[in-house]
Structure 1
Amino acid sequence: MVFFSKLFGSNKENNTKVVEPVEYKGFLIYQDSLAENGQYRIAGKITKEIEGELKEHRFIRSDVVSGKGDADDLMLKKAQMFIDQMGDGIFG
C-alpha cells in the first residue's frame, strides 16, 4: 500500500515544503539544507530579479552539521559573504 501511495501520491498530507527567503542587499536567500545520514548538508539558492528576469544560483556545500537550524544559519552566513564578494557576478 505504501508503494502505491508514493507512486500515485497520497491524499493524507502534502509533502511540499515552503522555504521562506531572507532578503539581503536586494537578493533573496533560500535556506534549504539537505538531510543526509543523520546530519544536514548546507544548501540553498540565491535569487535576484535583474532587468525583469529572475536569476538563480543554487549551491550545495561540502559542510555538514548535526542540526537543520545550524545548517540553515551557516548557509545564510555563507550566502551573505558570497553576495558581498561577488554581487551580481554570482549569476555571470
Structure 2
Amino acid sequence: MSFWKNLFGGGAAKNEPAGDKVMDQESYKGFLIKAIEMKAGSEFQLAGLIEKDVGGELKSYRYIRAERMASRDDLIPLALAKGRQIIDEQGEQIFR
C-alpha cells in the first residue's frame, strides 16, 4: 500500500531517505522544496521532497509523479513547480 501512496503523493516521511541526490531546491512560503534525482531507465522521473520545521520538528513529504524527461535540466523546474502546487493546494496538511 505504501508504494501506491508514494506513487500518487500520499504519505509523509519523517526524514529524507538516504541516498537521495538533490538536483536543486528553493524556499516557498516557509517550506523548502527539493527536486530529487530519480532515474527510470535512461530518463528522469519527476520526484521531490517538501520540508518544513513544524513546532521544532523537521517534517518532510516526498512526492513522485509519472512524468518523465530525458534531461535533468527540463525536469528540475517541473519538480519545483509541482512542489509549489502541492503547497498551494494542501499547505501543512501534507504532513498529516
Asked if the contact 2:23/2:76 (under 8 Å) is kept, the reply is no
Letter in 2 for 1:64: R
Partner Cα distance (1:20, 1:74) in 2: 11
1:29 to 5, 29, 33: 33
Q: 1:56 to 1:41 in 2, by over 3 A?
A: same
The CA deviation at 1:84 is: 0.4
Partner Cα distance (1:87, 1:42) in 2: 20
- Which residue is 2:61 aligned to? 57
Partner Cα distance (2:79, 2:21) in 1: 18
TM-score normalized by structure 2?
0.72
| Unpaired stretches in structure 1, ≥5 consecutive residues | 1-14
TM-score normalized by structure 1?
0.75
2:20 matched to 1:40? Answer: no
| Unpaired stretches in structure 2, ≥5 consecutive residues | 1-18
Q: Identity over the aligned pairs, expressed in percent?
A: 36
Indicate the structure (1 or 2) with the bigger Cα radius of gyration: 1
The CA deviation at 1:33 is: 2.8
Could you say what the CA RMSD is over the residues aligned between the two structures, in angstroms? 2.0
Asked if the contact 1:21/1:28 (under 8 Å) is kept, the reply is yes
Asked if the contact 1:33/1:71 (under 8 Å) is kept, the reply is no
- Which residue is 2:92 aligned to? 88
Runs of 4+ in 1 over 4 A off after TM superposition: 15-20
Q: 1:65 to 1:17 in 2, by over 3 A?
A: closer
Letter in 1 for 2:60: E
